[in-house]
Amino acid sequence: MQTELSRRLGVEHAIFGFTPFPAVVAAISRAGGFGVLGAVRYAAPDDLKRDLDWIEANVDGRPYGLDVVMPAKKVEGVSEADVEAMIPEGHRQYVRDTLAKYDVPELAEGEVSGWRITGWMEQVARTQLDVAFDYPITLLANALGSPPGDVVERAHERGVLVAALAGSARHARKHAEAGIDIVVAQGYEAGGHTGEIASMVLTPEVVEAVDPLPVLAAGGIGSGQQVAAALSLGAQGVWLGSIWLTVTEAEMHSRGVTRKLLAAGSGDTVRSRALTGKPARQLRTEWTDAWDDPSGPGTLPMPLQGLLVAEALSRIQKYEVEPLLGTPVGQIVGRMNSERSVQEVFDDLTRGFEHAVDRINRIAGRGDPS
């Protein structure tokens, strides 16, 4: 599964794996793909340095990258405390009432929330880059579109390619104008933040819009047949995230989440603003239902919503409160019905890809008639 882009990056398969777990990053790259570490959860630079040190020691010299979250427009002089002060008391009370309804215990005295998404704050992302550029990363991806121009320039000075996610051809063209090297066309089916256009429609639109820039297809992809379909639509690779949540190398925070993922069907997700304030596909739970309920106060814009619910989500996860327990995941969750190693996932992807190519060759009259 090689393309011009995979050869340029020195990987065997044009499979890019986004994951928050260092062990999964290293396993993806060792399996011949390209592992990308999600940095949003690293509020402390030393924590990111620790995990990048681990990846360096376990990736066997294979290439890997980093995914950050930062807006294209810079906002000066705004601290996390300033943002926290913008959260209305009525929303805080709604969180308290919802947790009380399900008898969610408090955190221990002095215990700090383990689910702070301060990585959504630009100044935090910049400290992450200060750390990451000391390592031999070869790709920097931004989940909120084109990163600021100085960040693109800084990456290019170090020979690092820059990728940005796009949910429409219009977004993709803006990325091209901003000097982005790779566009990730993320369809409606994807987990996390995603737009309104499905992958089958979006991928060829983006390919045409930014030609000759390479495009990666994302959203709902979890089989080799789907990889073949993405490449046939003009993509130079695929960007997979959800499929790695149930691999054996994943350091999932909760066995309850893993059980729910393995039991879920493709219709058991919802695009909700409950997590961050922007539409993000995740498991549908009574927590997402509460925030989508018209009788509630409604969600706040990013980053207010994420800061509002951070401690609540830590409590839900720590105590595994089943009705409220969830995670971002795409519609491909319906295929994630067993725990496998990263290598087993790759073996399945490559077999499925070969079968799809063979089938198309037979249809086109190029295969063995026997």
DSSP state for residue 144 in the 8-state scheme: T
Question: Could you tell me if 218 and 184 are in contact, meaning their C-beta atoms sit under 8 angstroms apart?
Answer: yes
pLDDT in single tens digits along all 370 residues of the chain? 899 999 999 999 999 999 999 999 999 999 999 999 999 888 789 999 999 999 999 999 999 999 998 865 555 556 667 778 899 999 999 999 999 999 999 988 877 665 555 445 677 888 999 999 999 999 999 987 888 899 999 999 999 999 999 999 999 999 999 999 999 999 999 999 999 999 999 999 999 999 999 999 999 999 999 999 999 999 999 999 999 999 999 987 778 999 999 999 999 999 999 998 989 999 999 999 999 999 999 999 887 898 899 899 989 999 999 999 999 999 999 999 999 999 999 999 999 999 999 999 999 998 665 4
Structure tokens at 194: 């995603």
Distance CA 370, CA 367 (A): 9
The model carries a pTM of: 0.92
Q: According to the model, what pLDDT value does residue 369 have? A: 53
How many other C-beta atoms are found inside a 10 Å radius of the C-beta of residue 156?
Answer: 14
Own/partner long-range contacts of 276-279 (Cβ < 8 Å, ≥24 apart): 276/117, 276/120, 276/193, 276/302, 276/303, 276/305, 276/306, 277/301, 277/302, 277/303, 277/304, 277/305, 277/306, 278/193, 278/302, 279/193, 279/194, 279/195
What tokens appear for 295 in the block? 């009788």
Burial (CB count within 10 angstroms: exposed 0-12, middle 13-18, buried 19+), residue 52: buried
**Cα 280 to Cα 190: distance, rounded to the nearest angstrom:** 9
What is the phi-psi region of residue 222: left when phi exceeds 0, alpha when psi lies from -120 to 50, beta otherwise?
alpha
Are 236 and 215 in contact by the 8 Å Cβ rule? The answer is yes
Identify the pLDDT of residue 226.
Answer: 97
Rounded distance between C-alpha atoms, residue 233 and residue 120, angstroms: 32
Strands (E), 268-310: 269-272, 280-283
pLDDT of 84 reads: 80
